[in-house]
Amino acid sequence: MALVKWSQYSEYTPAFSSSGLRNKDNNTRVESNEINNSTTRFRWMDVVCDVQFAASPSDGGFIALYLIPAIDNQNYVDGSSSVAPQTNLLIATFKLRQTTTPQKLAARNIMIPPCKFILLWENRSGQTTADLNNVNQIYYRLYTEEIV
């Protein structure tokens, strides 16, 4: 009888440049570096959202994360720093505490496509992120199932 279990995680990888999410105003969207899943074809992704604010986020504030695919591996669907993404591309929302201390939030078992894609980060906190490098970041790890 075959047994299905999780594969080993890929590397713990930052999705944005070290200053990419630094000092970002409310309602700002930022595009990640490209993630190429067209050859490895992992099925799942876990993400960690590290975030800190200059002033406490508003009550009900959150960070939204979208997955913007290039289904043909060349042309990304709508969703960028200047173009609002389709709501069905939302993969996670990170509810924020009202604090200026660092926050570490996670979303697990996100199904990902077998093509190139980017992550689109959106600040809906009501505040500006801290003006510090390497404090505000999305990290991801990819994995799949194994049949043994």
Q: Render each residue's pLDDT in the chain as its tens digit; 148 residues.
A: 788 888 888 999 999 998 889 999 999 999 999 999 999 999 999 999 999 999 999 999 999 999 999 999 999 999 999 999 999 999 999 999 999 999 999 999 999 999 999 999 999 999 999 998 789 999 999 999 988 8
Domain residue limits at 37: 4-147
**CA 77 to CA 91: how far, in whole Å?**
15
Q: What is the CATH number of the domain that holds 112?
A: 2.60.120
Which amino acid, residue 145?
A: E
Give one DSSP letter per residue of 32-73, joined into a string: ---EE-TTT---EEEEEEEE-BSSPPPTT-EEEEEEEEETTS
Total domain count for the chain?
1
> Is 81 within 8 Å of 31 (Cβ atoms)?
yes
Closest-CA residue to 36 (of 17, 58, 62, 10)? 10
